[in-house]
Amino acid sequence: MGMLTGKVAVVTGGARGNGEGIARVFAAHGATVCLWDVLDSVTQTAERVAAENGHPCQAWRVDVSDAAAVETAAADVLRAFGTVDVLVNNAAIAPEVPFVDMDADLRERVWRVNVEGAMNCTKAVLPEMIRRKGGKIIVVSSITGPLTAIPGLTMYATTKGALLGFTRNLALEVAPHGINVNCILPGTIDTPLLRWSLANGEHAGSGQAAVGDDRPVASDEHVASFGAAVPWRRVGTAAEVGGVAAFLASEWSDYVTGTEIVVDGGSRLTEWGLALVESGG
């Protein structure tokens, strides 16, 4: 039996990248996984995860910024499985645009997906968790914003910083109900968006633009070279983010709440990382 056997988990942004990595680890540890994503490919991801692990994995096409759609999806999950034990708020967009050039509509879109999306999903599952006196809520933030900065990602960084405040305050509110709320801060992780970004000199933006995109993706050699600046000497994997999420979703984290775990191979330690590369050490 895995440490998540019998648990029902909702993972947003689950079609690919960190969301898919989290889903795979959850399923490998025995969880029934429900993937929510705006991308059509979420269905194929769910089928692959289910086939690989032999545990149910179902897909819903959901725009997390649409509160009504989120409520409908949550009701569907509860009807299908009777509970939501774990919610992973992972869905996000990261258009790379200098702040001075970003119009109000795009700023609002980033905020609505990254912050209000997490709030919508949490609000939809929280009443049932409170009723049952238990649950795990995991928020996926980033080191970008809370700890580091990248030119062109000011709005993304702003939203990721806001998610820390959301995590801490919500954790305090729901602790009396036996609900844990924690945050993961990934660094540079080998995802499709990273590979598109490296190959094309820009972030894939909304997360939708890259679907069916015929632009090139970065090679393994390019990714390895990019990861050389990380003290761990490589970029991370979505499975490594998934491993931390599995810990936070399990009983092993029952006394952990209102905190954040950085998963970045030490890349926030910029001076040290650069020194390693420059010295060839």
For residues 264 and 236, is the Cβ–Cβ distance under 8 A? yes
C-alpha distances in Å from residue 136, one per residue of 58, 132, 166: 19, 12, 15
> Strands (DSSP E) along 143-252, which ranges?
179-186
Q: Which two tokens stand for residue 199?
A: 């190959």
Catalytic: which of 156, 166, 196, 226?
A: 156
Q: Which two tokens stand for residue 126?
A: 């929280």
Q: How many angstroms separate the CA atoms of 61 and 243, rounded?
A: 25
Which stretch of DSSP H or E encloses residue 137? Answer: strand 135-140
Exposure letters 109-143 (e unless 16+ CB within 10 A, then b): bbbbbbbbbbbbbbebbbebbeeeeebbbbbbbbb
Q: Please choose, from the candidates 200, 197, 185, the residue with its C-alpha nearest in 3D space to the C-alpha of residue 248.
A: 185
Query: Is 255 considered catalytic here?
Result: no
C-alpha distances in Å from residue 32, one per residue of 61, 62, 77, 149, 200: 17, 18, 11, 36, 36
Q: Which two tokens stand for residue 129?
A: 């968790």
Residues involved in catalysis: 156
